[in-house]
Amino acid sequence: MTDRYAVIGNPIAQSKSPLIHGAFAKVTGQDIDYTKLLAPVGGFAATLDAFRAAGGRGMNVTAPFKLDAFAYATDLAPSAQMAGAVNALKFEGDKVHAQNFDGVGLVRDLVHNLACPIKGRRVLILGAGGATRGALLPLLAEHPAELVIVNRTVSKAQALAALAQQHQSGKVPVHAAAYADVAGVFDVVLNASSSSLTAELPPLPPSVFSPDCLAYDLTYGKGLTPFLKLAQQAGVTRLADGVGMLAEQAAEAFAWWRGVRPDTSGVIQQLTVPLV
C-alpha cells in the first residue's frame, strides 16, 4: 500500500521537496506518494487534520507554518524544542511527533559532504533568527573552539548565546556581537541571516575570513550571493550554498519516516546551481 506524505507551506509552488523525496523513494525502493499542500494562512490545523484523516503518514513543514506545527504537535523532540519550530511531522494514531532537522542537515553537509570539520575551529554565524536557533545544538555537538553569533540587534544574539550556554553547560564558549565588533578571524562563516533572500550585503568586515575559511550561505539556488561575493573578494576559495543542507535535512526526515537513509549525492548534484 502506498503511504502518503506531503510538504505544507504558503506559498508552496517553489518547493523542491517532492522532487527530493521522489528521488529518495526511487533509490531506496520505498512505496510513497509525496505531494505539495498549499494551506491558507490561519488554516494550518484544518489542512493537517484533513490530511491525517485521509491517511497521511508524515509531513515536511515550510514557511510560514513552522511555529504552527510546533503548537500542533503532541510530542516535541529536543531539536524542535531548542529551535522553537518544527520542520517535520510524523503521525501515529493520535500522536503527532515533531522534529527539526535543519541543524542536523547543516552539520552533515559541512562535515561529510564538504569535508569541513567543526571540532576545534572558530565558527561565526550571521543572524539570530530561527535558522540559527535550530543550528546551535548540532554545531556545538561538534565541539568547535568557539561559536560567535552576530546580529544587527545584539540583544537577540545575546539571548541565543545564553540559551546555547544553558543547553550545553558551557562546554563550548558561545558569544554574541554586533557586526562592527566581530574580532579575529574564523575558520567557518555561516550566513543564516535573511540577507541573501533580498540580495543584501550583510555589514560584515572582510577581515573575519581566515585564508582557508569555508564561507557557507544557508540560502540555496541564488548563485553567488552578496555574502559569498564578499568572501570571495576577501580571498576565500571555499564557497558553498545551502543545497546540501536542504538535501541532508530531507534525508533525515525520510529516514525518520521510513527507517532507511537515502544517499543524497544524486539530489545535491541535480539541484546545485553554480556559484558564479
Question: Is the entire prediction scored with pTM above 0.85?
Answer: yes
**Do the domain assignments include residue 272?**
no
Strand 56-61 relative to strand 146-150: parallel, antiparallel, unpaired? unpaired
Which domain does 67 fall in, by range? 3-99
Task: Report the CATH number at residue 176.
Answer: 3.40.50.720
Single residue among 59, 84, 99 that ends a domain in this structure: 99
66 is catalytic: yes
The verdict on 133 and 233 lying in the same domain is yes
| 109 and 48 fall within a common domain | no
Question: CB within 8 A of 163, min separation 6: which ones?
Answer: 82, 133, 136
Catalytic residue among 66, 171, 222, 229: 66
Q: How far apart are CA 7 and CA 211, in angstroms?
A: 40
- The CATH number of whichever domain residue 82 belongs to comes to 3.40.50.10860
* Residue 87 amino acid letter: N
Q: Which of 48, 64, 99 is the last residue of a domain?
A: 99
Instruction: Name the residue with cell 544553558.
Output: 166
Residue 180, burial from CB neighbour count under 10 angstroms (0-12, 13-18, 19+): exposed
Hey, what's the cell of 31?
512505496
Q: Which residues pair with 121 in a beta bridge?
A: none
Predicted local distance difference test score (pLDDT) of residue 198: 83
HSE, side-chain direction, 13 A CA sphere, residue 201: 10
Q: Are the CB atoms for 84 and 130 separated by under 8 Å?
A: yes
At 195 the pLDDT is 87
- Is residue 95 located within the same domain as residue 157? no
Verify that 123 and 208 share a domain, yes or no: yes
* Each residue's pLDDT expressed in tens, for the chain with a length of 276 residues: 899 999 999 999 999 999 999 999 999 999 999 999 999 999 999 999 999 999 999 999 998 999 999 999 999 999 899 889 999 999 999 999 999 999 999 999 999 999 999 999 999 999 998 889 999 999 999 999 999 999 999 999 999 999 888 877 668 999 999 999 999 999 999 999 988 878 889 999 999 999 999 999 999 989 999 999 999 999 999 999 999 999 999 999 999 999 999 999 999 999 999 998
* Residue 121: alpha-carbon gap to chain centroid: 20
| Number of domains observed in the structure of the chain | 2
CA 143 to CA 253: how far, in whole Å?
24
Main-chain dihedrals φ then ψ at residue 155, nearest 5 degrees: -60, -35
256 part of a folded domain: no
